[in-house]
């Protein structure tokens, strides 16, 4: 296990390096410089050149890259150009909260509803709940969340006026965006848990447990769920990252000051250090979550040895 995790961490470092190189190159190809945006309009060309020199941006790209790499290894991600001289880590963490809140709410609501729907659907196979769940599952995956968000904003926010839209102050502002985001995890969870539960319910040990008179609830929670939850964990891992780190479209629709918005903003302003910092943060978060999911399997199901091959039946 320790060796497995160690190997995975090694890959992560390589992956991170590839991402850093790729992002750095792409970023430098972007037209413009950090100091020719509206915010720095008043700077004369000489002042702009001076600013570039001060941050070492006049050097050849490989030199800049090595310097950046060196600083990063020492734990210094640099400062933002746009938010003058504020450290990148602080810029990112100040925008992290709203994204996390909306994402976490969406995941929790989606999982809770999705899992219960899926399990009930499997118990009443081909019944009303089952058909209903399948329709929800197909729709939830097919309807883009920004369309849901736009419609929710228009009908619930504007027409009915039930919930606030267009600003970010109180908790109630996070309800609509969370709702818009929760459909995808809901649909995915419902779909996978349904298929798996159906599969498990047909197995001999379930029949045995049933014949011994075990109650349905106990049967589902103690005997079925543990086996059927595994694929859901796999699927959810990458979804968690996507949601927690903010869906760009949702953030712009509901004007949430999250890190999705920060990313596009920083790319538009050529805020190099923020782009790099954010990409690294996102990638690390992504890879760690997937690793965590892989390790979680073996905890939920001791039969799966993480290092070994995962063979089908």
Partner 1 sequence: MQEKITQDMFVPVRSDAHKQEYIARKHHSAFHDGWIRLRKNKAAVVCAVLIVVITVMSIIVPYTSPYAYYETDYKHKMNAPSSEHIFGTDLFGRDQWTRVWYGTRISLLIGLAAALINLVIGVFYGAISAIAGGKVDAVMQRIIEVLVGIPSLIIVILFMMVLPPGVGTIVAAMAVTGWVNMARLVRAQILKLKNQEFVLAAQLLGTSRWKTILRHLIPNTISVIVIQVMFAIPSAIFTEAFLSFIGVGLAEPKASLGVLINNGYKALRSAPFLLIYPAIAIVLIMVCFSIVGDGLRDAFDPRMKR
The residues binding partner 1 (CB under 8 A) are: 11-12, 14-16, 18-19, 22-23, 26-27, 29-30, 138-139, 141-144, 146-147, 150-151, 153-154, 158, 241-242, 248-249, 252-253, 263-264, 267-268, 279, 282-283, 286-287, 290, 312-313
Minimum CB distance to partner 1, residue 31 (Å): 8
CB nearer partner 1, residue 81 or residue 263? 263
Q: How big is the chain, counted in residues?
A: 313
48-79: burial string, b at 16+ Cβ within 10 Å, e else: eeebbeebebeeeeeebbeebeeebeeeebbb
Q: What is the DSSP letter of 39?
A: G
Q: Kindly tell me which of 10 and 221 has the beta carbon lying closer to partner 1.
A: 10
Q: Smallest distance from the beta carbon of 47 to partner 1, in angstroms?
A: 26
Shortest spacing between CB 23 and partner 1, in angstroms: 6
Residue 102 vs residues 168, 173, 251, 254, 281: alpha-carbon distances, Å: 11, 10, 9, 11, 18
Nearer to partner 1, 76 or 265 (CB): 265
| Residue (10 or 50) nearer to partner 1, CB | 10
The nearest distance, CB 206 to partner 1, in angstroms, is 17
In the bound complex, what is the minimum distance in angstroms from residue 120's beta carbon to partner 1?
21
Residue 1: C-alpha distances to residues 4, 89, 160 (Å):
5, 32, 54
Q: Are 262 and 95 in contact (CB under 8 A)?
A: yes
Q: Which is nearer to partner 1, 12 or 112 (CB)?
A: 12
Q: How far is the CB of 169 from partner 1 (least distance, A)?
A: 22
C-alpha torsion angle, residues 236, 238, 239, 244 (rounded to 10): 120
- Among residues 138 and 221, whose Cβ is nearest to partner 1? 138
How far is residue 290's CA from residue 30's CA, in Å, rounded to a whole number? Answer: 31
Dihedrals φ, ψ of 87, to 5°? Answer: -60, 145
């Amino acid at each position: 296990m320790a060796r497995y995790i160690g190997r995975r961490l090694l890959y992560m470092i390589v992956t991170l390096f590839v991402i850093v190189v790729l992002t750095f190159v792409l970023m430098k190809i972007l037209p413009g410089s950090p100091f020719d945006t509206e915010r720095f309009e008043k700077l004369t060309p000489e002042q702009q050149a001076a600013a570039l020199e001060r941050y070492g941006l006049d050097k050849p790209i490989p030199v800049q890259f090595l310097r950046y790499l060196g600083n990063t290894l020492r734990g210094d991600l640099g400062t933002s150009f746009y938010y003058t001289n504020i450290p990148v880590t602080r810029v990112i963490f100040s925008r992290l909260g709203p994204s996390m809140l909306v994402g976490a709410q969406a995941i929790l609501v989606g999982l809770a509803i999705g899992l219960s729907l899926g399990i009930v659907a499997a118990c009443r196979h081909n019944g009303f709940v089952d058909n209903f769940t399948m329709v929800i599952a197909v729709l939830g995956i097919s309807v883009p969340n920004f369309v849901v968000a736009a419609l929710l904003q228009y009908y619930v926010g504007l027409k009915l006026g039930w919930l606030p839209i267009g600003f970010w102050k109180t908790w109630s502002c996070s309800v609509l965006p969370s709702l818009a985001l929760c459909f995808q995890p809901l649909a995915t969870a419902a779909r996978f848990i349904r298929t798996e539960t159906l599969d498990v319910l047909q197995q001999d040990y379930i029949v045995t447990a049933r014949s011994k008179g075990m109650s349905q609830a106990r049967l589902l929670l103690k005997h079925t769920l543990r086996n059927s939850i595994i694929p859901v964990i796999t699927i959810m891992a990458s979804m968690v990252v996507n949601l927690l780190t903010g869906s760009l479209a949702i953030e712009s629709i509901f004007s949430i000051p999250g890190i999705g918005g920060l990313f596009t903003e920083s790319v538009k302003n050529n805020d190099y250090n923020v782009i790099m910092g954010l990409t690294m943060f996102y990638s690390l978060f992504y890879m760690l979550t997937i690793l965590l999911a892989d390790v979680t399997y073996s905890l939920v199901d001791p039969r799966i040895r993480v290092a070994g091959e995962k063979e089908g039946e």
